[in-house]
């Protein structure tokens, strides 16, 4: 399911393309949204020869994960198992080494 109604995009060229994908070419680019869901996932597609792509996941202003994207396509859990019914602010930013 793709939803963009309450998303903010950061960086140059980070608007969704015609297929709904969000290209994150530059360090610091990313997206942010509020949700009251119990869990959220994203699909990451990464292709590199020299420098790996790194990204950080932030929940309510706290960095909970910083990791390297595997080469190819992978499904990444942003969070899951949230028991509270309050809204959570999720932010994903691309980082480089």
Highest-confidence segment of 4-13, 17-26, 65-74: 65-74
Phi, psi for residue 82 in degrees, rounded to 5 = -75, 125
- 23 versus 94: the higher-pLDDT residue is 94
Q: Calculate mean pLDDT across residues 73-79.
A: 94
pTM: 0.83
The alpha carbon torsion through 83, 63, 91, 54 (nearest 10 deg) reads -130
Q: Please give the mean pLDDT across all residues of the chain.
A: 85
**How far, in Å, CA of 57 to CA of 76, rounded?**
10
Please check the confidence at residue 13 and state whether its pLDDT lies above 70: no
pLDDT for res 93: 93
What's the mean pLDDT in 72-94?
Answer: 89
Give the model confidence (pLDDT) of 27-39 as tens digits: 888 999 999 888 9
Strand partners, 62: 59
């Amino acid at each position: 399911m793709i939803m963009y109604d309450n998303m903010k995009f950061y960086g140059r060229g980070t608007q969704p393309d015609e297929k709904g994908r969000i290209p994150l070419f530059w360090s610091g680019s990313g997206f942010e949204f509020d949700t009251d869901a119990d869990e959220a996932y994203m699909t990451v597609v990464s292709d590199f020869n020299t420098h790996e792509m790194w990204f950080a996941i932030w929940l309510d202003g706290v960095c909970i994960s910083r990791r390297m994207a595997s080469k190819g396509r992978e499904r990444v859990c942003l969070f899951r198992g949230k028991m509270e019914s309050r809204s959570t602010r999720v932010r994903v930013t691309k980082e480089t080494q």
